A and B are shown apart, each in its own frame.
Chain A
Amino acid sequence: MNRSLRPLAATATIFLLAYAAATFQYPGMLSTRVLGNFLTDNAFLGIAAVGMTFVIISGGIDLSVGAVIGFTTVLIAVLVMWAGLHPLVAFAVALGVSAAFGAAMGAAIHYLKVPSFIVTLAGMFLARGGASVLSPDSIGIKHEFYTAVSKSYLLMPGGGRLSVVGLIMVAVFLAAILLAHRTRFGSYVYALGGNETSAALMGVPVARTTIQIYMLSSVLAGLAGIVFSLYTSAGYSLSALGVELDAIAAVVIGGTLLTGGYGFVAGTFIGVMLQGLVQTYIVFDGSLSSWWTKIVIGALLFMFIVLQRLIFTASAPNRKVLWKA
């Protein structure tokens, strides 16, 4: 098997085994109702994690996504409740702002030649600070559009509800899979993560691609903010605290190499679902406390980092040889 598929296979196996064990204990977990909640509750995380997948495949990291989500919720609340804009207009403005924000971070990373973590760290401060400057307090959003959206869903067989936000996440994943594997942009992202020098020599437009990658990540974080806003009907500068870490964990657990070059958008989906499973299990169990989520995710993260090291260092000499002495 292709070695880059191995961590993905491991994740999928772990997810299936864990899900089987959980449903064995709590048969109620095997229902489209639970699945629907899975998708709805993790929609914002999933969308942000898609952007993070591209960033990590390219060899970078984006610590600003949680802050961009928080900023977007506040911006939308301010535009809708104070400026009286229609939510859809507010959404467009929010996506535009986050695109410009990401492009600026990408440009800084490329042209200032600084590690992505420090630039996106500044971005995180800026977005969180900007959000609280807009409004330090939580703003509730009351608008018929929000009520309409929260009431719409697709009914799945078995009574599960696929909400609008869940649907958006699924659509984002499908589009991102095409983008990663079937476009030149996607191939450039992998190229940058493989070896930036080689990529440049092979004609990859490094500056443009870097800017686009961080723009994509911020736009998706903005979209995640819209989803979060729809999900909570509020805007708060401290919402989605620490989501960047959950997103990074989902990406890595989904089989993407933290050092870049290898990974799958579909794997990130499983990574997000695995996190959702842990949370749902803890809710079903009732006696376990919520902090176990962080510990289990940290342990999974560690396990996958070690697993990747083993796979990618041990299998290097194992090359196909067509002719031998």
Chain B
Amino acid sequence: MQTATTDAGAPVLQARGIGKVFGQHRALDGVDFEARAGEVHALLGENGAGKSTLIKILTGAYQPDEGEVLLNGAPVAFRDPLQAQAQGIGTVYQEVNLLPNRSVAENLFLGHQPTRFGLIRKSVIEARAREVLATYGLEIDVRAELGSYSVAIQQIVAIARAVELSGKVLVLDEPTASLDRNEVQRMFDVVERLKKRGLAIIFITHFLDQVFALSDRVTILRNGRKVGTERLQDVTATDVVRMMLGKDLAFEHHPTGINEGPTGPVRVEFNGLGKAGRVAPFSLKLHEGEVVGVAGLLGSGRTEMARLMFGVDLPDSGQVSVDGKPTTIRNPAQAVAAGFGFCPEDRKLDGIFGDLSVRENIIIALQAKLGWFRALNRDEQDEIAGQYAEALDIRAANHDMPVKLLSGGNQQKVILARWLAIDPSFLILDEPTRGIDVGAHAEIVRTINRLREDGLALLVISSELDEVVAYSNRIVVMRDRELVAELSGEDIAPAVIVKAIAENNTGAA
């Protein structure tokens, strides 16, 4: 899959055989990567594919366990991002890592301000800031607070700082995630300019059309390994999606025969639910004993859709009805009362209570539903925890140990157990199998199938295409914060899904 030399310059930054292990989890395995002067090299992969680990190694935030990083052909070992920056590698993050409370000029020169008699020469800094930003086509009041400008301008200031201080390699980590179309175009102009100045630019994004619009080459990672490096003129969006989502999906058909239409009565119905800037209004019915899979790339609005359904975010339009009755869901507590459950994508942040025991983590939602005064006593807690720990095969030395000591897969099962304990009628699973080992993975897929048989309505969001295909009765496809397709029957096939995800992207390139 390796491409021969392109018309771009010599490799500036190279990674050879990079491996990185966290505990028992292998984040990167033998990954090669190179960025050449005067090229934009896109790095693609779903969450957990290893791109952020690779970037952290290239920019000095992590040290590799295996392999080496070379800068201009010479091996380097960066202690921290500051050292990498001093040697020429600047990084711009998705969340602008500047100081919104300080002026634009100060953000450009913090730590490098010219001084005279120990006093900062403000006028010199401001003049130089104007000068530098002019080369990026930005003419703004450099004395104003950075935070008073739009994210796009802040991003360009961040790029300017990175380039001024480093100047060889520019790493752009999801820089366009919160920008609108015009702002993205503006950012692209800046990147084109820098490319002409001979910088090597590494571009991380999950917007396929932007990859095609801006990049010369693309490297795709999946599950910690490199799938390939391609010249973008040689591939189509469908090829790229296929590489990202794995396997050769060409004409694989729905295997299990569960794809016949919904059978049971409607359990929940969302009608025109939406929130400006998050998800365009969508309508969706889920039936008893049905699994609806949600496919779409990262940032397509899948998680946002789930958050609206569960009342985590407040929708600004639409109605919800449960078992045919209109229901108000304005916060998660109301969702739980209505019999909903939600296993969130970010287990650590939104899911587990690290210091609390396995037992408490399992009974907490049920207890919240019962209220303060109908406390489950110790025996009841032990019984519930034991029952679901056994049903889901949760492996813990005992149920009184803090849940943070469990492996990721077992933590995920604990959260699943938490929701099963409230006997839900509708369960949302956001990336239930991400970052967990193979055994736990299979266990969770088995559980999804069992819950369907028990008559639950399930909504499962996953980046694992073959997995979604295996257990879904229907599949909805999200793209650009919109529900763009609903697939059932014969259409539940990886090739169709990939096509639906990639559709408009090819044209935009």
Contact = CB atoms under 8 A, between A and B. Distances in A.
Establish whether A and B are touching in the complex (CB under 8 Å): yes
**Top 3 nearest A-B pairs by Cβ distance?**
A194-B99, A261-B101, A194-B101
A181 B122 CA distance: 10
A262 B106 CA distance: 14
The binding surface of chain B is classed by DSSP as mixed
Contacts of A190: 99, 101-102
A188 B99 CA distance: 11
A27 interface: no
Given A178-B119, A320-B148, A198 B111 contact: no
Interface stretch (A91-99, A148-156, A200-208, A275-283): A200-208
A320 B182 contact: no
Contacts of B111: 184, 188, 202-204
A82 interface: no
A2 B102 CA distance: 11
A4 B145 CA distance: 9
Nearest to A186: B120
B318 to A, nearest CB: 23
A299 B144 CA distance: 32
A3 interface: yes
Interface size class of B (residues with CB under 8 A): 20 to 34
Contacts of B75: none
B304 interface: no
Interface string B146-190: 011110010000000100000000000000000011110010000
Given A182-B122, A203-B111, A191 B102 contact: yes
Interface of B: 81-82, 85, 97-102, 106, 110-111, 113, 115, 118-120, 122, 140, 144-145, 147-150, 153, 161, 180-183, 186
B161 to A, nearest CB: 8
B132 to A, nearest CB: 16
Contact of B99 (A178, A195, A319, A325): A195
Contacts of A291: none
A193 interface: yes
B349 to A, nearest CB: 16
Contact of A198 (B98, B120, B140, B183): B98
A323 B113 CA distance: 30
Nearest to A197: B97
Nearest to B121: A182
Contact of A202 (B98, B119, B180, B181): B98
Given A194-B100, A323-B182, A324-B182, A203 B110 contact: yes
A325 B81 contact: no
A324 B98 CA distance: 24
A322 interface: yes
Given A2-B144, A195-B97, A202-B97, 7 more contacts: A183-B120, A184-B113, A190-B102, A193-B101, A202-B111, A203-B110, A322-B153
A320 B150 contact: yes
Nearest to A182: B119
Given A178-B119, A187-B120, A202 B102 contact: no
Of the candidates A191, A197, A324, the one having the most CB atoms from chain B within 10 angstroms of its own CB is A191
Nearest to B96: A198
A187 B102 contact: yes
A89 B190 CA distance: 61
B180 A325 contact: yes
Nearest to A57: B101
17 contacts: A2-B144, A178-B119, A183-B115, A183-B119, A183-B120, A184-B113, A187-B113, A190-B99, A191-B99, A194-B102, A202-B97, A203-B110, A316-B147, A318-B148, A323-B182, A325-B180, A325-B182
B110 A191 contact: yes
Contacts of A191: 99, 102, 110
A199 interface: yes
B148 A198 contact: no
A186 B153 CA distance: 25
A184 B115 contact: yes
Contacts of A195: 97, 99-100
A314 interface: no
B101 A4 contact: yes
Contacts of B82: 201, 203
